[in-house]
Every structure is written in structure tokens, then in C-alpha cells.
Chain A
Amino acid sequence: MGLLSDPVRRRALARLVLRLNAPLWALPVAWLERTMRSVGLEVYTQSFSRKLPFPDETHERYMVSGINVYGILRAPRAASTESLVLTVPCGPDSTNSQAVGLMLALAAHSGQIYWAKDIIFLVTEHDLLGTEAWLEAYHDVNITGMQSSPLQGRAGAIQAAVALELSSDVVTSLDVAVEGLNGQLPNLDLLNLFQTFCQKGGLLCTLQGKLQPQDWTSIDGPLQSVQTLLLMVLQQASGRPHGAHGLFLRYRVEALTLRGINSFRQYKYDLVAVGKALEGMFRKLNHLLERLHQSFFFYLLPALSRFVSIGLYMPAAGFLLLVLGLKALELWMQLHEAGVGPEEAGENPPHPLTQGVGLASLVAPLLVSQAMGLALYILPVLGQHVATQHFPVAEAEAVVLTLLAIYAAGLALPHNTHRVVSTQAPDRGWMALKLVALIYLALQLACITLTNFSLGFLLAASMVPAAAITKPSGPRALYAALLVLTSPAATLLGSLFLWRELQEAPLSLTEGWQLFLATLAQGVLEHHTYGALLFPLLALGLYPCWLLFWNVLFWK
């Protein structure tokens, strides 16, 4: 009988630890207001609070409340119809205070006559949560159940935004992040703009933390760009905002994040160089008459100066999905032959009956698998308190373990209610089910690919082969292993290993498992806090679909 066996005590202790871990560092709001006002900005604050669905153990937060401070530099002789945003997300400690300093210096420097768009200098607390609260209040919408005070000052339609993160006072390279929420990307011109100023200022710029390949003649250059490309695909497929900019993209604000990184190289840049690049970008954006629209919104980046256009990569996904279509067509033909065969033999009466029974037999597996998906979506968060009362786990762990339990339970559930299937055509049942499953999968993957290519392609590449060959006869154990290995959860696990491998920080198995659990929790949290769609997509769409194939495999 340990101290923690009593659930009430355990929870009290957990809360205490959480509070002790809670940041003592808070945004110096009054000082920021004073400083911003003294450089001639209109200063406003916004307070917000949010109770997360369960404690976030990665960021150590649960009941979040904070204050965003923003100052608006009003453009002379413009009627506040358009604005640009420079945002600095501040985390629980003072890691990003260099960026705040640089932003204030820029604000003090930028009181000039040439501005045609207002500039909003935004400091958000609790990094992305604050950004989300501010964006929702600015657009006067409530998507994620955030409680926040209304904004007192606005500056029209936001045209572009740059988020700045400086993790150290020594900056040796600038990393640029473009991947936003749900795989949205800013217009490629914004990235080009950044790249231009990188070259002009002689800054060392990286993408996905990788240096730009110089040598394209040997194998190293292309190899490196493939690595960068894969990293971007994984990052985009995750659907999580890769920086504070990612939340702006939902509101049709072109945005990217600049990260100053100390990678311990010999050449260092002082903040003046970074500030110059930023000022240059803002002046260029200031001169724009229209929103950025001329360049691509869908692209993949193997390097900063090179991109793969949608016209090149889309056929790949198209061909993958074609496999599903062809397989479905084949099944349809077989079903049709099976249905036509007896008719030609003169057995007219049973034909409509068998077909009717075949369709009816599909209802139960479809319903059961969808119900599993729904349970996977709802139960973990809903049942966390029940779980913590009965098992010695914390809330976040409870959510993740419930998630995995339901996921695994889905495999063991008896879906098959095919006792009523006629014996005349024993193959008809699973064929019809597989046909439905194939079409369902193809439709889902096509929709995902159109909005988030990386995710669609990853899922298609992993799920399509297994889905195409699954059938209840033949080497069933092999098929089962293949199906399990290509299930969405396994794909996620594999992607994590691949991602860390590409980042040259390989994981051991236990580390990988820990990271997997943390990622699951983050995925659920991001769905609730920012509206990321990966979790509901997997839980409500792909997991039930995958269960159908599992069902086909174990069709008796």
C-alpha cells in the first residue's frame, strides 16, 4: 500500500506537482506595455484562459491562463485596412526573450513614413495557445473553446505574418519553417522572399535544420535534398503547426516561422543581421498591392531554392490510388459474374435474394467498425477520470492507454455476423465488403491527398498494397502481419523512427515507444486546442476503414 494507491491522494499529489512545475516566469506585461508605448505604438492586451482536456505532460500545463500583449504601428495615411504581423511566441520560460528584444528594437526603428500597412507586434504567452487565442479574438470566432477577452484594437485584414523564435543569443543559422496546421503551406513567394534576403544578407539559412546542398554534381547533393524532402513530408503529414505561423494559415494569412539557431558553427551573426533581413521582408510585404497569390500554395521543398510543384508529385499519388480503383473494378466484375452466372443457368428467383443478403451482411461490419472509430475518438478523453480512478496512472497516460486499448480491441472484436450469408456464393460476402472498403479507402485518401499531399501519400503508400492483396484465403498469417504493420498506428510509429533517423538522432526501441505515446497524447491535444484534424481523421475515417480490411481477412 503505497502512498499513491489512493486515487484521491494521488490526484492531489499530481495536481501539486503540476502546480510546482508550473512556470514561475510570466510575461512582464506592464513592462512590455510601457516599452511599446514609449516607441510610439498603440498598445493593447488580451487575457485568455483555457482548460486543456487533460494535462499536457510535454509542456507541463493544464489550466492555462495568460496575457497577450500587442502594439500596433499605424501606417500614416492609410486607413488601417491591411496589416502585417510580427509575432514572438513566448514559452513557459524566458527562452524567447531575445526575440522579444529584437522585435522591440524593430518596432522602435520602424516609425517611418513609408509604411502603407499597419504592423502588429504581437507577444503571445504560452506559445501557440496564446497565438490561437489572439487569432480567434482578432477574427471574432471561437473554434476551440478558448475563453478570451475581446480585442480593443484591430488593424484590418492581415496580409502576412512572420513568427520569430531565437533560442539563443548566439545565432549561427536561421531555420525556416513553413508547415502549418493540417499541412497548410504559405505561398511559395513568401519563402522566396526570405531566401532572397538570406542571400542578400549573407545569412546561413537552413530548411528542416539541414544546410543547403552546394554540390549537385555528386551524389551528396541530391541525397541531402531527398532527406530534406522526406523530413518535410513527415512534418507536413503530421498536421501539426511547425511554429506559431502555422495557426495563421487557417485565416488565409501567409506566414512562416524563423528560428535562430545556435548550431555551434564558427561564423556567428549578431541580431542586426537578422533584424535587417526581417525589416527587408516587411518592407517588401509592405509594398505589395495584392495578397501573395502568384506563386504556388502546394509544393514540396527539397532545398530552399528548389521546389517540387504539385503537377509533378500529384500523379504519383494518383497512380497509387488507381491501384485501389482497378482492384475495386476487378472485384465488381467478379461479383457481377457471380451474380450473372446463375441467371444464365436459369435460376432466376434466388438471384435478387442473394444480392440482397450480400448487401445486408455488409451493414453489421460497417456499423461495428464505425462504432469502434467513434469509441476511439470519444472515449479516451471522456473516460480519463474513470480510468485514473481505477488504475494507477495519470490523466495523460490514461488517455493514451485507453486509446491503444480500444485500438487493439478493435482487432479482436467479432465483426462477422455472416451466419445469414447463403452458402451458394461463399465469396460474395467478403468480396462485397472488400469492394466497399476499397472504394471507401480510395475516396478518403483522394480527399486527404488533395488537401495535405504528404499525409495522403504516406497513408496511401503504406495502406494501399496491403489493402489490395488482402483476402480470406492464402497465407493468412502473412497478410495479417502485413495489415498490422501498415495500420495507421504502425505507420505513425514507423514515421517517428524515420523522422528521428533523418534528423540524425536515431531512437532506441524504448525511446521510440515513449515518443510514440507522447505523440499520441499530443495529437489528441492538438485536435482539441488548435483544431488539428489528424486525430479525428485517423479515428473516424481510416481506422474503421482499416478494420474492414481486417474483417475481410478473417472472413469465415
Chain B
Amino acid sequence: MWPRVLPGRDNVTDNGNIKHQREKAALSQGWGHWEVEAAAGMAAPVRIFLLVLLLLGPGGWGRAEPPRDSLREELVITPLPSGDVAATFQFRTRWDSELQREGVSHYRLFPKALGQLISKYSLRELHLSLTQGFWRTRYWGTPFLQAPSGAELWAWFQDTVTDVDESWKELSNVLSGIFCASLNFIDSTNTVTPTASFKPLGLANGTDHSFLRYAVLPREVVCTENLTPWKKLLPCSSKAGLSVLLKADRLFHTSYHSQAVHIRPVCRNARCTSVSWELRQTLSVVFDAFVTGQGKKDWSLFRMFSRTLTEPCPLASESRVYVDVTSYGQDNETLEVYPPPLTTYQDVILGTRKTYAVYDLLDAAVVSNSRSLNIQLKWKRPPENEAPPVPFLYAQRYVSGYGLQSGQLSTLLYNTHPYRAFPVLLLDTVPWYLRLYVHTLTITSKGKENKPSYIHYQPAQDRMQPHLLEMLIQLPASSITKVSIQFERALLKWTEYTPDPNHGFYVSPSVLSALVPSVVAAKPGDWEESPLFNSLFPVSDSSSYFVRLYTEPLLIEEPRKGGLVKRLANLIRRARGVPPL
């Protein structure tokens, strides 16, 4: 089923330097309609052929073969229970092409920088997210797709890759250049190979987890320099379509900002005879309507993004805005959307029935009325200041204890479902300088010990690899489960301290993967036809839905070198003739 892939590694490893520079140049060009690789030493007949092609122009090309790639763009606006507003952009480029095969050089909608990565490093899946802020599940509800604060990267490699670690290292370095992020700090001390938590999201016929790598950099700060390269990957950049709303000054004036890139193989047709590549660029922001709106919870596109929508992206085959108008009370008179939507969409999203007002930008009637679309929502009655509905699953993580010697990592898992118990996969990655005492691992639910049905523990090696702890825990109905493990702080070497050691050291968040029981059973629909926000995770069962949650990262104080020690060391260094620290 999985297409045979040619290992294209020969010219990667050979004469590395020159090749590398050339590739960097090629990557930096971004995508183009007519980009051709002008490699040195190309034969003259090829040049003539290219010239002919250029003369023929796009029309001729289009007649010769229908475009095999398509773009869908989508914006979902969800008023959150707390009164904030979440906006989730998704741009999905699908390409019916064998990217793995050597020699794919003609890129249309799919960004060349990423396409080349797939073939060069024999990637099967790539998931990268850059996040500033923290999705507060308890108050904002279950997200479509959460990402941990900082940078997260996980990738599945093809089983033809011989040295996965080397490919992983190169991949993270290249991505670091593409997204202007500090992904080059991913090394063996923060990379793990989870055994159960991160299954491939796309088409896969083998899940040997030795081809998976996962890393989180909780310290990464996300800013406009990361947004710009992300926007440049979009076919319409930020010139037309939904992407005109992506103005950095507004996007970073939010409570939560998460941008992500997901690449995975999907079925080309219903019978799944061949493979297409899917690139999803997602961007989620949460606007604090309360603060920016002086206590009022009304919002409009203009108030959020300081832009309005005027036209769809000409390259997009679908361009839609969904607004969640589900009313939580009995009467749906509490809120009003303007302009009134032409159509609505109803489905079971994340286990509950939701109603969305749909604005199709390709529908001329939507935009032409006022030449711009500024969707507004007005609360007819001010929403009560009551406690928001609580999601079935959320978590909290903290450090217990005080002092600089020992402590305890505690994770609280809340199952608020009144009568259903469900299992959760918990993944913890802990840096090596916190020495975990595994015998102190305790899991208690409702005052009783809760034995996990699956435990995978990989101990840390100093300066080599972090602790990895994976557990499958059954959460009893309406319970709080506490997972705690004690640790001791190791002393670091002089050079291993960060420049700001008094800030503390970060511990990456726990990852929770769970199948949460649905309130309403979902109807299996056509995967390709359903909206993008509903088709990210493959649906296996209609009675439950998949959720991946991240807890907050932790900041842990480490014992530091004191001033006296430093002064002494400087004295010794001066005596030895070495420059002082």
C-alpha cells in the first residue's frame, strides 16, 4: 500500500558543503509558479525545453494537465465560555504527487521549502508548532488543536532511513532556518521517542516508533519573526483571502498565539489506491474580549484583526468563515451575528452538537453587498458572570515542595464526566538534571491507588538523554487523579548554566492523549468534504473523540553557583593566568 520510495540520500551526504549552500539558496526562494532548479551542469537540451515551456505559458500547461493541487482556507471563530474569542485559521494545501520520488521540481501551491524537506529527509509526517501563551482548557473548553507553550516538533521518518538521529538533527536545523526559531537547540538531551502517545495522524501502514522523534522547547519565545516565514508559505501570502487578517500587531496582542505546520500523507481517493500529501498551516489566537472591549464581550472582525475580508484567495478552491453560534442556554436569542449568514452548518464537534454560521467568500453575495465582510457578534443580553461549563478532561501541573534540594512533580488529571471512566495516555519528559526517583511514583484517584495498565520508562543519562515516562491511566468518573513523582536536583557544571540561571530551568509540559466519551454520537461523514477543523485527527469511533492536551510548563529553580564560589574560582583562575569567569 505504501508506495516504494527511492532513497535520495546519495547527493545529500556527498560534497555536503556546496550542496548545502545551494539548497539553502533554493529554499530561500520560496514557492513560485515557475520555479525551476537551475543547477549547475544541467544539459543544454533541458534548457531549450524549459525555454519552450516558458513560451507556452500557464495556459498551455493547464491544458496539458489539470492542476493536481488544491487549496482550502478556513477561519473558525468560537466565542469561548469565559467570554474570550478564539479564532482558528487553517490553510490546507493538498498535492496529488509523489513527493518522495526524486526529481520533483515543479511546485505550484505546495511550498518548495517544505516539499524538498520531505524528499530529502524521507519524512513521513512533520508537525511543528510555535506557541506563545497557554490554552486554558478549564476556562476555554477543549481546543481543536492545542500546542504546548514554546516550540514543539515531532516527525515520523520513513522506514528506509538508516540513521534517524542524524536526519532528525539535520531536519531540526533546517527548520530552524526556515522558521527563524531556535529549533537548532533540539539535541539528544531534549529529544525522546514516545512509544504510544504520538501515533501518525496520516496514512501509515507501520508504526515502528523507532522512526519517531519528539522534542519540546518550552523556553522558545514566539514573535513576528516566526510569523513572517510562516505567512510566506501561504500561496496567497498575506495579500488576499483570509490571510489578509494576519496582521502581526494584532495577532500578538492576544492571550494565546499558536502557529503550526502539519504535513502528512493522506488517501488520494476513497479507495485509497495512492497517496497525496497534505500541508496544513494552522494559526490559533485567543482575543481577550473582556480587556480589549472594556468589559463588553461583543466583537467584530475589525475589532479583532483591524481588517475586514474583501475577497477570497484566487488560488483557493474553498474559502469559508465559520462562526460558532451554538447557544449554551435553551433560548438562542442571546446572541446575534451580523450580517445574517446565508447557510448554517451543524455537526458533532468534540462530542457536542454545534451550530456554525457559514460565510463562503467564493459566494459573490457574501462580499459584494458592502464590498467587505465584517462579521460582528452582539450579545442581546449580557452573558451572566456564572462559572463556565467545565470540559470533561483537563489537567494541571505544578512543583511541590520548597528548597533547592528535592521536590515533587505533580500532575492533576480531572475527569468531570458524571458516569464514564476513560483512559488517558500521559507522557512526561523531564530533563536529566532532575533526578527522578521512580519508586516514588504514585497515582491516586479518589484516595485510592490507581495502577496504570501500561508504563514505559526510559531513565535519563547525564548530559545525554532526558527521562521519558509514559503511562496509560484509567480516570474514574468525576474524579481527580494525582500523579506525582519526587526528584532531586543535580548540580550542573559551570558551563551548563544558562546565562540567566536565576530565572530557573524549564520542564516541558506533560502531554495527555485521550479518547473522551462524546455527549452526542458523531455521524461518520465524508472526510474530504467536512470542514477542516473537523478533520485533523482521524476518527476511529463515533462514541468518543480524540483530544490531546498539554499542561503548563514548569519553571524550576536549580542550585546556583554562589558569588563566593565564583570569586574563589576567579582567584584561582587569576593565579593560573586564565581570564576570570
Contact = CB atoms under 8 A, between A and B. Distances in A.
A113 interface: yes
B290 A40 contact: yes
A78 to B, nearest CB: 7
Given A40-B291, A80-B134, A153-B396, 6 more contacts: A34-B385, A74-B136, A76-B291, A77-B132, A154-B398, A251-B402
Interface stretch (A19-27, A225-233, A287-295, A535-543): A287-295
23 contacts: A34-B385, A40-B291, A77-B132, A78-B133, A78-B134, A82-B555, A111-B288, A113-B291, A140-B401, A156-B398, A156-B552, A157-B504, A157-B555, A250-B402, A252-B402, A252-B404, A289-B500, A290-B501, A290-B503, A291-B502, A291-B503, A291-B557, A293-B560
B402 A77 contact: no
A112 B398 CA distance: 25
Contacts of B398: 140, 154, 156
A35 to B, nearest CB: 10
A9 interface: no
A38 interface: yes
B254 interface: yes
Interface residues of A, number: 30
A80 B138 CA distance: 14
B489 interface: no
A141 interface: yes
Contacts of A251: 402
Contact of B500 (A78, A113, A290): A290
Interface string A286-326: 00011101000000000000000000000000000000000
A79 interface: yes
Interface in A25-57: 34, 37-38, 40, 42
A77 B255 contact: yes
A76 B288 contact: yes
B553 A77 contact: no
A111 B291 contact: yes
B396 A293 contact: no
B458 interface: no
A290 B132 CA distance: 19
Given A37-B385, A38-B385, A74-B136, A81 B400 contact: no
A276 interface: no
Given A34-B385, A78-B133, A289-B500, A252 B557 contact: yes
Interface in B355-391: 385
A409 B150 CA distance: 66
A156 to B, nearest CB: 6
Q: Name the interface size band of chain B.
A: 35 or more
B133 A77 contact: yes
Contacts of A74: 136, 255
A80 B560 CA distance: 23
Nearest to A156: B555
B252 interface: yes
Nearest to B295: A40
B384 to A, nearest CB: 11
B256 A77 contact: yes
Contact of B139 (A42, A111, A154, A252): A42
A139 interface: yes
Nearest to B257: A77
Nearest to A42: B139
Q: Interface residues of A: mostly helix, strand, loop or mixed?
A: loop
A138 to B, nearest CB: 8
A140 B410 contact: yes
Contacts of A153: 396
B399 interface: yes
Interface in B548-576: 552-557, 560
Nearest to A292: B502
A12 to B, nearest CB: 37
B290 A111 contact: yes
Interface string A228-271: 00000000000000000000001110000000000000000000
Given A34-B385, A293-B502, A77 B552 contact: no
Interface string B321-362: 000000000000000000000000000000000000000000
A325 to B, nearest CB: 23
B396 A154 contact: yes
Residue of A79, A81, A111, A289 with most partner-chain B CB within 10 A: A79
A440 B75 CA distance: 75
Interface string A84-120: 0000000000000000000000000001110000000
A212 to B, nearest CB: 29
B289 to A, nearest CB: 10
Contacts of A113: 253, 291
Contacts of B252: 77
Contacts of A289: 500, 503
Contacts of A80: 134, 552
Interface in B277-293: 288, 290-291
4 cross-chain pairs, A with B, having the tightest CB-CB distances, nearest first:
A140-B400, A79-B149, A290-B502, A79-B134
A79 B552 contact: yes
A137 to B, nearest CB: 10
